[in-house]
Chains A and B, each alone.
Chain A
């Protein structure tokens, strides 16, 4: 049997350009969400979590890579370079590359973009990333709405278990462009204040941008102090609505149930749930219903959207990485923005950052198209 581990990791976000910096910021209660006044991203101001462009330019310059890269490519290159260098694995034909994103370089469609429209094709983005690092295999691109980042870990597992690859690098990223802000605004899904997942006065999402990367490996020699083992995972569709969550939380319920069955983990063995928690009225209510049906009400739960905003296709991977560090530090991170519970079922939202013995956590994600993904991770003591 092949064991599947998550190992070297990085996140490039408004809270820092390394996982350690990002986690330190969370521990100290910082948030990357700010009021944004940038007419190139949206005609009105909005609350979001954006990567500092000067920091990104500096980081990419330091790497001395040749080429003319888009903003998203720069974010992904900076993040993935860190993980590939730390992992120190030769990029042979047994090493895979998975890229997950919802919109890729969609900003090249804007009038006045210096890049040709061809760059909007995700396979072109994939080829750019592959060529920078010299991967032997063609990139596998996963574009499955807001579960993309977490689903990519499931996909990586398939390649390891089947022996197609020994190691898979996963990089996930999305940009907060005018395309995305205008779309979510048309849905009236944006909050006009910092988001408040699960709270009674929650009024919608904040958007955020991030690139996150991780090594998924079956090699026990390649683990880090915060490594976790993937015990079980599942994706399930609500089969209910393309843009609204199921009223019964059916897809999320089934995905968690299946993941727990595969992991052979019972409800009382879970120490922590890193939930999706976008802070829209319907999403958070749906999650509470699903967790209640699963009898997971008592398990300490947070949403990390208050720190990073909703980072779309990257959110599942970013939040899994934060979960790895949460376990390693034996610390439950406060669900930023939470005050008074505002969902119809009692769930245990973490209201302040505190120490706790942590061993196993559940990560969930849900997205447009009715998709829900759940994965269960266990601490590995290296």
Chain B
């Protein structure tokens, strides 16, 4: 199969109460906790969306990062999602577990339980941006550019998608980090494992 060159057309970091896009800070506010930060960030970026506030932390984090990239241009419906992290949905898993560990104080809730799957954030992004596309959630010990690169190359070279939004969204207790990037036939940054690692490690 003829392999066209692929590029990273944009990327986004969310960490330390700061959102950056293509290496430039879009919004920063370290005066609030994560939920407050998400609220002000979404307002500031004009991506407010009532459903955002019902989501769990992982989906809020993933949505914020995805919005920064996909709102730039109207997302193509054939944008595949290839996400990964370390903690899966453990942040919400612990909440569901706490709700069932005492029979005298037993309060499991479907609105929490549904978020005990890491791929729910893919569903949330798909709903907001109307993506009827390939999606896959991977779990690795740490950020793993080789596997993200291989899966993305396959999806684009085999016409399973026109663009791929991929990366890392991890929320574990009070620690969180998102790094998402968009891959297609257009862009200036070569889609290579080295470039993915370099953008991931960049401070912004």
List chain A positions with a Cβ less than 8 A from chain B. 43, 102-104, 106, 109-111, 120-123, 126-127, 138, 140-145, 151, 155, 158-159, 161-162, 164, 178-179, 182-187, 234-243, 250-251, 254, 367-371
A123 CB contact (under 8 Å) in B97, B103, B141, B150: B141
A239 touches B150 (CB 8 A): no
B117 touches A102 (CB 8 A): yes
Given A179-B100, A183-B108, A142 contacting B138 (CB threshold 8 A): yes
Q: Which residues of B contact A251 (CB under 8 A)?
A: 132
CB distance from A234 to the nearest CB of B (A): 7
B150 touches A159 (CB 8 A): yes
23 residue pairs bridging A and B, Cβ less than 8 Å apart: A103-B116, A121-B90, A122-B88, A138-B141, A140-B147, A142-B139, A143-B118, A155-B136, A155-B151, A162-B153, A162-B154, A164-B150, A178-B100, A179-B96, A182-B113, A183-B96, A183-B108, A187-B113, A187-B114, A235-B136, A236-B134, A239-B129, A242-B120
A138 CB contact (under 8 Å) in B122, B140, B151: B140
> Is B119 among interface residues, defined by CB-CB distance under 8 A?
yes
CB distance from B204 to the nearest CB of A (A): 27
Q: Told that A186-B113, A369-B119, A370-B126 touch, could you supply 10 new A-B pairs with CB distance under 8 A?
A: A103-B93, A120-B90, A120-B93, A126-B141, A140-B138, A140-B147, A141-B140, A144-B137, A179-B96, A254-B132
B151 CB contact (under 8 Å) in A121, A144, A158, A184: A158
User: Among residues 133 to 173 in chain B, which have CB atoms less than 8 Å away from a CB atom of chain A?
Assistant: 133-141, 144, 147, 150-151, 153-155, 158, 160
Given A122-B88, A237-B122, A242-B127, A371 contacting B132 (CB threshold 8 A): no
> Is B124 among interface residues, defined by CB-CB distance under 8 A?
yes
B139 touches A237 (CB 8 A): no
How far does the alpha carbon of A110 sit from the alpha carbon of B116 in the complex, in Å? 15
User: Among residues 165 to 187 in chain B, which have CB atoms less than 8 Å away from a CB atom of chain A?
Assistant: none
B123 touches A370 (CB 8 A): yes
A250 touches B132 (CB 8 A): yes
Q: Which residues of A contact B94 (CB under 8 A)?
A: 109
The 9 A-B pairs of least Cβ separation, nearest first, read A369-B123, A183-B113, A123-B141, A237-B126, A141-B139, A158-B154, A186-B108, A239-B126, A122-B139
Total number of A-B contacts with CB less than 8 angstroms? 154
How far does the alpha carbon of A219 sit from the alpha carbon of B107 in the complex, in Å? 52
Interface centre among B116, B119, B155 (most CB of A within 10 A): B119
User: Among residues 11 to 59 in chain B, which have CB atoms less than 8 Å away from a CB atom of chain A?
Assistant: none
How far does the alpha carbon of A122 sit from the alpha carbon of B137 in the complex, in Å? 12
A239 CB contact (under 8 Å) in B100, B103, B132: B132
B176-204 interface mask toward A, CB cutoff 8 Å, 1 = contact, 0 = none? 00000000000000000000000000000
How far does the alpha carbon of A184 sit from the alpha carbon of B116 in the complex, in Å? 11
Interface majority SS (helix, strand, loop, mixed), chain A: mixed
Q: Which residues of A contact B123 (CB under 8 A)?
A: 237-238, 241-242, 368-371
How far does the alpha carbon of A338 sit from the alpha carbon of B113 in the complex, in Å? 29
Q: Which residues of A contact B113 (CB under 8 A)?
A: 182-184, 186-187
A143 touches B154 (CB 8 A): no
B132 touches A110 (CB 8 A): no
CB distance from A116 to the nearest CB of B (A): 14
Query: Chain B: which residue is nearest A254 at the CB level?
Result: B132
B84-112 interface mask toward A, CB cutoff 8 Å, 1 = contact, 0 = none? 00111010011011001101000011100
Given A103-B116, A110-B97, A239-B130, A123 contacting B140 (CB threshold 8 A): yes
CB distance from B200 to the nearest CB of A (A): 18
How far does the alpha carbon of A72 sit from the alpha carbon of B159 in the complex, in Å? 37
CB distance from B5 to the nearest CB of A (A): 16
Given A127-B141, A143-B118, A237 contacting B110 (CB threshold 8 A): no
Q: Which residues of A contact B108 (CB under 8 A)?
A: 182-183, 185-186
How far does the alpha carbon of A155 sit from the alpha carbon of B120 in the complex, in Å? 19
A236 CB contact (under 8 Å) in B110, B116, B132, B155: B132
How far does the alpha carbon of A120 sit from the alpha carbon of B91 in the complex, in Å? 11
